[in-house]
Structure 1
Amino acid sequence: MSLTNFRSAGSGAPAPKVTFPFLQEKKRAHALITALTAYDYATARLIDESGVDMILVGDSLAMVVMGQDNTLAVTVDEMLHHTRAVRRAVKRAIVVADMPFGSYHVSIAESVANAVRFIKEGGAEAVKIEGGASRCELVERLVDAEIPVVCHMGLTPQAVHRMGGYKVQGKTAAAAEEMIRDARMLEAAGASVMVLEGVPREVAEKITAQLHIPTIGIGAGPDCDGQILVFHDLVNLSFSQPAKFVRQYADGAALFRGAIESYVRDVETRAFPSEQESYHLAKNVAAALDLDASVDDPEAILREA
């Protein structure tokens, strides 16, 4: 299958809904998968209309939206709130919800119940969990419950304290071999997609070659089946030093700051709102109230409203 089979631009027909079999077919055809995070209706709609295949409602919202130091504090209810907002905007992409720290680190039954909430209440089509082979039983139970699972290996932000910071993982031969083994085990347990973060390119390349399911890289080199970035990193809205793997495609901070500063200046100098941006009374109404008016046609009030 050629790459053009996966594109609808210029065809005039609506783009097909992305599904996990669709992503599997893209891997087989060596057509790369695109993914971004989103946390609200507006950005999710822009991302979806731009043709991105997968939207992750990431627990990174704790940092880039809520101003937390790490991802650990965000709750299930907060994640559900943002997942619902994203779901309302998306027509084409797969919506994946991050399960936050603590929501799947308890009993298997409670973990499955939490995942069900993201499907039933949040409208997600899959959940994402972090960790290696120790998550295999949970993956199996989620798949039994008809919940697709995206697994996340390598630099797993929810394990920041254990790792001693955000550090590249799998740098030794033993660590790389363990990661490759765990990836195969998670695939065998039923994972639909594997996210590889902060992993040496060579390790990610080998995992990608060995797995039948797609791999999505973030700081894992160009040999994965697709790539994901945090939206706020992409447009310079994260207010922090970007990681080595981040490429900024626009300076949203400068754009928004300039617009806000112009607004403040216009308000302070009475340049906004203008006469054209104001509503008016009809002359007869203004006369009855002994006020000035600039509208001769009473029906103009209805038209302006």
Structure 2
Amino acid sequence: MTVRRNRGVVWRGPISTLREDSTVATFGGEGVQAHMRKWHVTADLTFAAVDQFEIARVLVNRHQLKAGGYVGINTNSTTLSGTVRDRTYLGSELPNTYDAILDLAEVRGGFDLDVNPATLTFDLFFPRRGTRRDDIVLGDHNIRSWSRDEDATKQASEVFGIGHGEGAATLIATAQDSSAVAVYGLTQRVFSRKNVLALVNLQAAVDRQLASFSLPPRVVGVTVGPDDPPLGSYQVGDEIRVTIPSLYRPIAGWRRIYGIDVVWNGSSEDVVLAVGEIGPDLQNPVFPASDQEAMERAELLRRVDTLERVDQT
């Protein structure tokens, strides 16, 4: 399905759900990247000191070269990030292609990604997507409503990462946030990256997870109109100034746009911006790109692939 606005393609993706009653048929879909969530690496792939952009492109290309696997994603770009990684993907473990790409993107020195809905180009951004927009300010003059949900169910002040190997030879990395321990106590989280052979890469992923989970995700859904600021003049990844006089925790400062949702409210359009704090390394959000649950519980967006998907329906 393709959605056009002002003669331009603003969204494209497969229709995945249908809900129908006596008066309305509602179609649901995800962006083009939804295809990659159903892909798996089925043959061994090993990369030694290879640019992370090239690894991501190879992961996409390997599936599209399979019979019936091509969906039109264009990976012809030759730009590089300048950051090299070591990665091994074992066909016997059948790692998910999209998760493998996010594992590359989420570490320090990682990147943002997108599939352009108009051209289907696989766009990779280093160090990150978006710009700081001095011209866009959200406040009493243009905010129609806002909502905030904070969820500490996944908070962790210490993170363990399990890498390649078995038994005593298993690669393990850990990191702890002492300030989070002082507030929440010693809470722990374990994740697995069995395809990671190098300790430095596993440690980078652990550090990224700790930065993401040591504090609960703080995402605010801000509803504005389509004209102020003009819809299409900003994108996911941009930083804008937001002022909200909350009694609990006022907001006044720069926030990054992590999702955009356009909703018809019965008489006009509402634009819901998911805005959050800027990550500590300015390359990743304060919640992981692969962690959708917090956003879904907040009911801000039907689905957000951070920094990657602009859903306009």
Instruction: Give the TM-score band, short-chain normalised.
Output: under 0.3
In terms of fraction of residues, the more strand-rich structure is: 2
Q: If you compute each CA radius of gyration, which structure gives the higher value, 1 or 2?
A: 1
Q: What TM-score does the superposition give when structure 2 sets the normalisation length?
A: 0.24
Task: Tell me the TM-score normalised to structure 1 length.
Answer: 0.25
Structure with the larger helix share: 1
